[in-house]
Structure 1
Amino acid sequence: MRDTLEQARTRYVDAGGVRFGYRRLGPETGIPLVLLQHFTGTIDAWDPAVVNALAADRPVIAFNNAGVGTTSGETPDTIERQAADAEAFIVALGLEEIDLLGFSLGGFLAQVMAARGTLAVRRLILTGTAPRGGEEHLLEVVAAAFARKARDVRLPLFFTPSDASQVAGEAFIDRAGLRREDRDPDRGDAVSNPQAQAIIRWCAETDPDYGTLRAIRQPTLIVHGSDDTMFPPINAYDMSRRMSDATLIIYPDSGHGALFQYPATFVSHARIFLDA
């Protein structure tokens, strides 16, 4: 029986003076799908329903970038440096070709990594993210979510106020909490402050010629929530228009965590895309 995200041991690899914590699931052969996580998120913030299903027929690697969770070092305050750390991790694992799934902040890294071609990126999935110079409301949305004093801040942060979305959110929170032992630590402000600076800088930086998007030649699947307040869906539409080979899917009545609200649907879409 193969490991699940909830049960897999955390492994470590050294690169560039950083000891990266990661978990590898799925078969030993095939093109690995590397997961790039959201603002302040660790490996344990991924949805087991998504990760385990994706790992049923392909290698899946979830990791903590520099300074996050079980990984040593300091979290950089620019997207480019965070992307370079992710690249160093992937090189250290000896992966020759990869697919990338970037959620939110992770989607920024995935765009940079695909565009600059340091690694052999085959296909790209971007969800709940924005292009360089895109629209963001990070601090406003996070502050409003904490003010709600919900059971878990991700309920107002990732899901809409509708009953259906909140029920799906509660189920996601339950799934994400299934791992009891060896959970990733929360580094607090040491991660949130530089990551917030990186996000704000990325979206404040103008890119009038859409250079980063136009440099991405890989087939790309863009998935977004219809009511994402952190990175509004106009970002997803703009990305799909500027990229050479992008497919856009908008999920109904969903917020920033659309892939966690519709895990089976997202996995189905992701599989079709990755297997094409």
Structure 2
Amino acid sequence: MVAVDGIELCTESFGDPSDPPVLLIMGTGASMLWWDEGFCRTLAEGGRFVIRYDHRDTGRSTTYEPGRPGYTGADLVGDAVRVLDAHELQAAHVVGVSAGGALAQLLALDHAESVLSLVLISTSSAVPGDRGLPSPTEEFMRFVSAAHVDWSDGESVIEHQVAYARVLAGGRRPFDEAAARALVRRDVERAHDFAAVRNHDSLPDGDLSHASLSSIAVPTLVIHGTADPMFPLRHGQALAEQISGARLLTLEDAGHGVERADRQTIAAAVLEHTSAGTAD
């Protein structure tokens, strides 16, 4: 547990602290459990010191009353720095997925000294602007507009989260419902108050950067699935075009997030991307 600035953040590390550090930032509304433990250990076995953590209002970190978050989006960016400070790290390679990828971009813009490189997975530009990018798929929009969940009923929440995971998977590959259900149940049961994750949907921005992504100077790898229903592939392509020197890795038929079928591919890409300056 990291206790700083009046809050507590739950973190977990893997590997040797003397190895190059990799900070994993999950999407808002998602605890660190969505960074699969096996994925983290694969990175650690590849010679990286890996840190994952629970955002506020997820998992075991400080939780606020639903509908009354005592923080902003900018505070979530600052939390990444707080985690690094707690581990006595000046900087790390930063890997973010979904909204965690947006937080990673903002971290690189506002706290450039803390970022050695970026890996941005299933995400879009964190900087506002009229980019003419495609909207989420019709199936995704139907789900978010019609889904009903009783947040006071754990089983209702689990059913909702599993159904959401199915939609995010994109529909082009078999969906492992049993694995998704086991992860969701663990996530719900582990949280102080799982209903508080809804706070992430209405956070004020706070003092966020509006600098251009072209000002990001660290090596950047963008990873995006061709079947992502939340951010269709063009979002990843545009992101790679906006960040100077960024590379794009596409995952055929992959949906939104780090899917089991892609974990080894993504882990290998992260290890390769973060290998600059490390010993063989």
SS at match of 1:33: strand
SS at match of 1:130: coil
Which residue in the other structure is 1:245 paired with?
245
Instruction: Give the AA of the match of 1:79.
Output: G
Verify the 8 A CA contact 1:15 1:89 in the aligned structure 2.
no
Aligned partners of 2:35 and 2:174: how far apart in 1? 18
Aligned partners of 1:142 and 1:178: how far apart in 2? 20
Asked whether 1:152 is paired with 2:141, we answer no
Verify the 8 A CA contact 1:227 1:254 in the aligned structure 2.
yes
Which residue in the other structure is 2:174 paired with?
166
Structure 1 residue 85: deviation in Å? 2.3
Which residue in the other structure is 2:98 paired with?
104
Cα 1:95–1:141 shift into 2, 3 Å = farther
Aligned partners of 1:66 and 1:196: how far apart in 2? 13
Which residue in the other structure is 2:202 paired with?
197
Asked whether 1:265 is paired with 2:265, we answer yes
SS at match of 1:51: helix
Cα 1:58–1:172 shift into 2, 3 Å = farther
Which residue in the other structure is 2:58 paired with?
68
Instruction: Give the AA of the match of 2:246.
Output: A
Stretch moving more, 74-83 or 110-119: 74-83
Select which of 45, 50, 59 maps to 2:39: 50
Aligned partners of 2:75 and 2:44: how far apart in 1? 28
Instruction: Give the AA of the match of 1:143.
Output: V
Asked whether 1:80 is paired with 2:69, we answer no
CA RMSD of aligned residues (A): 3.4
Structure 1 residue 151: deviation in Å? 8.7
Structure 1 residue 247: deviation in Å? 0.5
Cα 1:36–1:142 shift into 2, 3 Å = farther
SS at match of 1:85: helix
Compute the TM-score of the two structures, normalised by the length of structure 2.
Answer: 0.77
Which residue in the other structure is 1:213 paired with?
213
- Unaligned stretches of 5+ in structure 1? 1-11
Which residue in the other structure is 2:152 paired with?
none
Instruction: Give the AA of the match of 2:249.
Output: I
Structure 1 residue 174: deviation in Å? 7.3
Stretch moving more, 51-60 or 256-265: 256-265
String of CA shifts for 1:180-210, please: whole Å, max 9, x gaps: 9x973163342223x22359x79xx9x7xxx
String of CA shifts for 1:200-237, please: whole Å, max 9, x gaps: x79xx9x7xxx331121100110011011111211111
Note the 1:9-24 alignment, pairs <5 A: 12-24=1-13
Compute the TM-score of the two structures, normalised by the length of structure 1.
Answer: 0.78
Identity %: 23
Which residue in the other structure is 1:9 paired with?
none
Select which of 17, 21, 31 maps to 1:32: 21
Cα 1:105–1:216 shift into 2, 3 Å = same
Aligned partners of 1:190 and 1:267: how far apart in 2? 31
- Unaligned stretches of 5+ in structure 2? 149-158
Which residue in the other structure is 1:187 paired with?
193
Cα 1:113–1:137 shift into 2, 3 Å = same
Verify the 8 A CA contact 1:105 1:129 in the aligned structure 2.
yes
Verify the 8 A CA contact 1:42 1:184 in the aligned structure 2.
no
Instruction: Give the AA of the match of 1:29.
Output: S
Stretch moving more, 19-28 or 81-90: 81-90
Which residue in the other structure is 1:5 paired with?
none
